[in-house]
Amino acid sequence: MISAEKGSSSMMMNRVGSSILFTINGNVYPTGYYNVTINIGQPPKPYFLDLDTGSDLTWLQCDAPCVHCIEAPHPLYRPNNDLVACKDPLCAALHPPGDYKCESPDQCDYEVEYADGGSSLGVLVRDVFSLNYTNGVRLTPRLALGCGYDQIPGASYHPLDGILGLGRGKSSIVSQLQSQGLVRNVVGHCLSGRGGGFLFFGDDLYNSSRVTWTSMSQEFTKYYSPGIAELYFGGKATGIKNLISIFDSGSSYTYLNSQAYQALTALLKKELSGRSLKEAPEDQTLPLCWKGRKPFKSVRDVKKYFKTLALAFASNSRSKTQFELPPEAYLIISVSTDLTP
Q: Which residues are catalytic?
A: 52, 248
Under a CB-based contact definition with an 8 Å cutoff, are residues 264 and 311 in contact? no
Under a CB-based contact definition with an 8 Å cutoff, are residues 250 and 54 in contact? yes
- Cα–Cα distance between 333 and 114 in angstroms, integer? 28
Residue 100: other Cβ atoms inside 10 A: 13
Backbone phi, psi, residue 11, to 5°:
-60, -30
- Cα–Cα distance between 110 and 181 in angstroms, integer? 26
- Cα–Cα distance between 110 and 122 in angstroms, integer? 6
Backbone phi, psi, residue 174, to 5°:
-65, -40
Q: Prior bond to 281 cis, omega within 30? A: no
Identify the sign of the CA torsion 216, 219, 225, 226.
negative
| CB under 8 A, 24+ apart: contacts of 99-104 | none
Reduced to 3 states (helix: H, G, I; strand: E, B; else coil), residue 56 is coil
How far CA 120 is from CA of 45, 62, 150, 260, in Å, comes to 21, 11, 6, 32
One-character DSSP codes across 188-255: EEEE-TTS-EEEEESSSSS-GGGS---PPPSSSTTS---EEEEEEETTEE-S---EEE---TTSSS--
Q: Prior bond to 30 cis, omega within 30? A: yes
Backbone phi, psi, residue 89, to 5°:
-55, -30
The amino acid sitting at 288 is L
